[in-house]
């Protein structure tokens, strides 16, 4: 398989002979039905340099070429805002989102969002693209957010996400000392009563599974690594409250803001297969300054209590 900025190419193998190009793209490379439908509009599919229909059947050695759509009408107003770029190519943009910024505009935060910053970045590069985040993190969670730069990249990563092939790692500080070195919280999550924002553990909720590992214990807190097997809204925050150790600073879920004025959670790593090359990708975001200062406070607290 070979790719450039807008061209996807694959040379058919022996097992592909006799199969329709449509079937190869759908079942072998997980092209979505929506993307395949779009490819039918205009001469976007070639075999050995000649236009072909997706319903045609291939043979070993055929060079299948797909013209991917890159320029699209932007769906948001771009803004000239700071953007901490961790990685970018023709298919992906990965950024380190700061605390206090929402991923997508909403009624409460209609502007100055990550979406506005990313759109403005692309506009300055002369690129017209739709904003397609692969996942979202809360306004006061810092760290990695991955954005697809075209429809193909988005549906490829969405396919990986749905099947649990994307690995997300979070770092967080919870109140109290967690006795277990590691464990799994397997409690379903649903809406809390009379709230469109807050969630709670509920037997009729959606399946939610969080793996945790203790990285360090302090006298009044624990530093944890979280690996998400599912991606429910507020999942880590709800699960931490549920097992009696709310995130430091998370007053929505029983935490206190004595040491930190936001919930102490950082999206530190996002691992997946590149949608074009299929090669493993690992995106990491550095530890934010406010959590570094929190570590100092926790160390000082230990020293104070020991004196």
CATH, residue 25: 3.10.290.10
Domain presence at residue 77: no
pTM to 2 decimal places: 0.83
Indicate the pLDDT class of residue 58, thresholds 50, 70 and 90: very high
Q: Are residues 131 and 7 in the same domain?
A: no
Q: Are residues 12 and 153 in the same domain?
A: no
Domain that holds residue 175: 85-306
Domains held by the chain: number: 2
Q: What is the mean pLDDT of the chain?
A: 90
Domain presence at residue 75: no
Q: Are residues 18 and 108 in the same domain?
A: no
Q: Are residues 152 and 38 in the same domain?
A: no
Q: Which residues are catalytic?
A: 138
Q: Are residues 38 and 170 in the same domain?
A: no
Domain presence at residue 225: yes
Q: Are residues 46 and 184 in the same domain?
A: no
For the record, the structure tokens of 76 come out as: 């948001």
Q: Are residues 171 and 285 in the same domain?
A: yes
To the nearest whole percent, how much of the chain has pLDDT over 70? 93
Q: Are residues 186 and 121 in the same domain?
A: yes
- Answer whether 94's CB lies under 8 Å from 145's CB: yes
Q: How far apart are the C-alpha atoms of 158 and 167, rounded to whole Å?
A: 13
CATH, residue 162: 3.30.2350.10
Q: Are residues 242 and 297 in the same domain?
A: yes
For the residues of the chain, what is the DSSP string, one character each?
-EE-SSEEEEE--GGGTTSBHHHIIIIIS---HHHHHHHTTTT-EEETTEE--TTSB--TT-EEEEE--------S--------EEEE-SSEEEEEEPTT--SS--SS--SSSHHHHHHHHHHHTT-----EES----TT-EEEEEEESSHHHHHHHHHHHHTT-SEEEEEEEEES---SSEEEEE--EEEPTT-SS-EEE-TTSB--EEEEEEEEE-SSEEEEEEEESS--TTHHHHHHHHTT-PBTT-GGGT---SS-SS--EEEEEEEEE-TTT--EEEEE-PPPHHHHHHHHHHHHHHHHHH-
Indicate the pLDDT class of residue 74, thresholds 50, 70 and 90: low
Per-residue confidence (pLDDT) for residue 196, from 0 to 100 = 82
Indicate the pLDDT class of residue 42, thresholds 50, 70 and 90: low
Domain presence at residue 79: no
Q: Are residues 109 and 39 in the same domain?
A: no
């Amino acid at each position: 398989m070979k790719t450039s900025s807008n061209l996807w190419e694959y040379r058919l193998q022996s097992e592909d002979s006799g199969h329709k190009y449509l079937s190869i793209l759908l079942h072998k490379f997980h092209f979505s039905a929506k993307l395949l439908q779009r490819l039918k509009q205009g001469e976007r599919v070639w075999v050995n340099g000649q236009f072909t229909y997706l319903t045609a059947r291939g043979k070993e050695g055929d060079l299948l070429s797909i013209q991917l759509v890159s320029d699209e009408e932007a769906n948001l107003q771009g803004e000239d805002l700071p953007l901490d770029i961790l990685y970018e190519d023709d298919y992906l943009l990965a950024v380190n989102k700061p605390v206090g910024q929402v991923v997508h505009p909403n009624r409460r935060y209609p502007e100055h969002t990550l979406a506005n910053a990313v759109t403005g970045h692309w506009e300055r590069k002369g690129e017209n693209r739709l904003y397609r985040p692969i996942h979202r993190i809360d306004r006061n969670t810092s760290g990695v957010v991955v954005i697809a730069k075209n429809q193909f990249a988005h549906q490829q990563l969405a396919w990986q996400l749905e099947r649990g092939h994307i690995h997300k790692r979070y770092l967080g500080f919870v109140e109290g000392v967690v006795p277990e070195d590691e464990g799994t919280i397997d409690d379903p999550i649903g809406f809390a009563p009379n709230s469109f924002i807050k969630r709670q553990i509920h037997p009729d909720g959606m399946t939610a599974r969080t793996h945790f590992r203790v990285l360090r214990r302090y006298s009044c807190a624990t530093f944890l690594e979280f690996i998400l097997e599912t991606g429910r809204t507020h999942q880590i925050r709800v699960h931490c409250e549920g097992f009696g150790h709310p995130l430091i600073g998370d007053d929505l879920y029983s935490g206190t803001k004595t040491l930190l004025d936001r919930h102490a959670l950082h999206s530190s790593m996002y691992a997946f297969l590149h949608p074009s090359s299929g090669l493993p990708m690992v995106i990491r975001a550095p530890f934010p300054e406010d959590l570094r200062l929190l570590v100092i406070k926790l160390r000082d607290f230990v020293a104070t209590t020991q004196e």
